[in-house]
Structure 1
């Protein structure tokens, strides 16, 4: 059965429709921010959640790891489905599922129900990440797509910047459940905006795609050295961030004796760095090229990870010795990841949804593993977190030079 899809929105480089395009980009920012909000909003509450649910910190940290892992699995499914049925209906369905998961988390009476709700949340929320990238690639060629993804990600970075502060304030005023109530309302708002504003952009909606064709599409991607280069470079950089996210609250609240609100305020520095990096990607990728942006970003992030290790070895146990190097790591990620994503989805542009989902799955899967390992190893020391970050950035540095030429 053939499906009729509306015309895609106008592209920014077509001139007269620029204002319409800006509102469209804001919509992509909103839906892409859903899943990062789900990651970052409750981070300041994690030590308090462990006390209230009467479990240890590792059990609460597992709700983060399982969320990231579910995003990895979900993107494998959502990307190809959107290639077949369209970005719009799949995104609407994903946002609805995110709202259901948020409600389950908000009402969870125990850790088991909370974990189940987090899985449902992640499976729905990952639609915003995968499909915002695929929609951009539907409309732009590779270098321009890298620039536009940089702008989308820069806007999206506002969510993790303000989320820990909001989460810490909500916990201080109410309790940890208020954070999930906020996520429910944000999910409903994103669902309504998508329903009203998003038009279809997928190039082959209604074209029959068998399981064997999907396997062939994935086979083309998996046999491509360049695809693996982009995907693994992004995976290493992203895993360094998730290593930090997985253990930073423990280090700042439990080891440094700071409050969840203070943690949320310091975490804003990380998002500022990520926004600056993505602004650089949006502004300069078309001028200097994706490869140069990735090189600069990886060198910045790797150097900053070693600086963090050096400061900690010198005995500086202050949040700024922790968060200022992380600001630079995040800035480097902002320069690196948009070009990695644009490169990965450009290997086979007619299956940009599948490519975005597969690359995102590899990235989030690596993040889930690293976050879980860091969470289990944090026992009175920040070294497991710092060494994991250094290892991930060295991996990205080597992968970019070996596989992406």
Structure 2
């Protein structure tokens, strides 16, 4: 067992980070069966996804402040225990109201992702954090690929409640692991009762924080746009089966994994802002290439999805830098920064998916989708450049102050 102030092992952080997306998508294949079993409409059951996302956005703001006030360890332990109990509640639910109530209580598991990033920043330098978050981020891509597959198998052979049994068992196991391995990494000097108020106010008035956070928001937003519009494009333009579409969507996720590996490999050697901009350029160049091919009349799905892979690859390179940068504006407020930027990504994703749903149609849908993705990627590039400009100005001001 680690001492109370010993940082957790890397595997613990990977498990915490990877379990967060699995809590969202693992039960998706069972939604229809849940609706039948609980005697309700599919539209109502779907609130277990949309409502859950809304709840996680709010919870991230709360856990960021709490972790700054009382520490990372107690917040994570309580969140894991609450998720485990809520999972048992979902297993025992006899009606849709009970199920949705316990499902919303599961939203606290998002702290596993947000606070894992904060813990890395607590215990590493800025460059080291970029590298480590790059490797940890790879689990964020693998988990969404494996989650629905495992959920589908469990639902098919044991029924939908077995998925929530799995949630309960894993979360109780993670609780035990964190109890033994997760030491407190929040610096005591800043763990005072005024931290939540000061942290929130300070971050809101920090332009550099917004530059990093919005870069990440539009980077992930491009992927949200892709997920929203690509099913229609696959059917209307490429006449693809759902199985083929699943493979092509997975290829973009593989791109993210490769980008995360690149960030992990080279992040400690380069300035985080340089890594961010490089990732944004990769995404934009790939999408421009796809648009050029469409303009030339090339409508092969291979080339279309080859261009979208660059978005996943670029995001994998960018996100460790943007996450680390947001937490490095005020290192003592890393928990609040991770939570606020995470909530912003969820909120931005909701807006961009709504926009995509109304903008993409069967006519010229492929071009529209790539243009929307390019617009989001270009916006994130602009915010990355803004962050570089702000950081350079801050460095010059600090140098001038030191000379006085």
TM superposition score category, shorter chain reference = 0.7 to 0.9
Cross-structure match for 2:132: 148
Cross-structure match for 1:215: 197
1:362 Cα deviation from its structure 2 partner:
1.3
Cross-structure match for 2:330: 348
1:62 Cα deviation from its structure 2 partner:
5.0
Cross-structure match for 2:57: 72
1:171 Cα deviation from its structure 2 partner:
4.3
RMSD (Å) for aligned C-alpha atoms? 3.6
Mapped partners of 1:311, 1:161: distance in 2: 29
Mapped partners of 1:344, 1:156: distance in 2: 19
Unmatched segments (≥5 aa) in structure 1: 10-20
Task: Identify which range, 107-116 or 199-208, moves more after superposition.
Answer: 107-116
1:136 Cα deviation from its structure 2 partner:
0.6
Q: TM-score when scaled to structure 1? A: 0.80
Mapped partners of 1:334, 1:342: distance in 2: 13
1:262 Cα deviation from its structure 2 partner:
6.0
> Do the aligned partners of 2:65 and 2:199 also contact (CA within 8 Å) in 1?
no
Q: Does 1:41 align with 2:26?
A: yes
Cross-structure match for 1:396: 380
Cross-structure match for 2:219: 237
User: Compared with structure 1, are the counterparts of its residues 182 and 87 closer, same or farther at alpha carbon in structure 2 (3 Å cutoff)?
Assistant: same
- Quick check: which has more Rg, 1 or 2? 2
Mapped partners of 2:360, 2:35: distance in 1: 15
1:138 pairs, out of 122, 125, 134, with 122
Cross-structure match for 2:393: none
1:151 Cα deviation from its structure 2 partner:
1.6
Partner secondary structure for residue 6 of structure 1:
coil
Size of the aligned set, in residue pairs, is 382
Mapped partners of 2:348, 2:97: distance in 1: 24
> Do the aligned partners of 2:17 and 2:139 also contact (CA within 8 Å) in 1?
no
1:162 pairs, out of 146, 161, 165, with 146
> Do the aligned partners of 2:120 and 2:133 also contact (CA within 8 Å) in 1?
yes
Mapped partners of 2:94, 2:286: distance in 1: 41
User: Compared with structure 1, are the counterparts of its residues 49 and 6 closer, same or farther at alpha carbon in structure 2 (3 Å cutoff)?
Assistant: closer
1:106-159: CA deviations, max 9, x gaps? Answer: 55566655544443222x111101110111111112111111111211234321
Mapped partners of 2:294, 2:98: distance in 1: 37
1:404 Cα deviation from its structure 2 partner:
3.5
Mapped partners of 1:199, 1:335: distance in 2: 29
Cross-structure match for 2:343: 361
1:283-317: CA deviations, max 9, x gaps? Answer: 11122221221112112223444556677886958
Mapped partners of 2:61, 2:261: distance in 1: 28
Q: TM-score when scaled to structure 2? A: 0.80
Alignment of 1:122-137 (within 5 A): 122=107, 124-137=108-121
> Do the aligned partners of 1:297 and 1:331 also contact (CA within 8 Å) in 2?
yes
User: Compared with structure 1, are the counterparts of its residues 275 and 257 closer, same or farther at alpha carbon in structure 2 (3 Å cutoff)?
Assistant: closer
1:250 Cα deviation from its structure 2 partner:
7.2
User: Compared with structure 1, are the counterparts of its residues 401 and 111 closer, same or farther at alpha carbon in structure 2 (3 Å cutoff)?
Assistant: farther
Mapped partners of 1:110, 1:248: distance in 2: 34
Mapped partners of 1:311, 1:173: distance in 2: 45
Mapped partners of 1:103, 1:302: distance in 2: 45
> Do the aligned partners of 1:312 and 1:321 also contact (CA within 8 Å) in 2?
no
User: Compared with structure 1, are the counterparts of its residues 201 and 102 closer, same or farther at alpha carbon in structure 2 (3 Å cutoff)?
Assistant: same
User: Compared with structure 1, are the counterparts of its residues 370 and 105 closer, same or farther at alpha carbon in structure 2 (3 Å cutoff)?
Assistant: farther
Cross-structure match for 1:8: 6
User: Compared with structure 1, are the counterparts of its residues 285 and 386 closer, same or farther at alpha carbon in structure 2 (3 Å cutoff)?
Assistant: same
Cross-structure match for 1:16: none
User: Compared with structure 1, are the counterparts of its residues 321 and 110 closer, same or farther at alpha carbon in structure 2 (3 Å cutoff)?
Assistant: farther
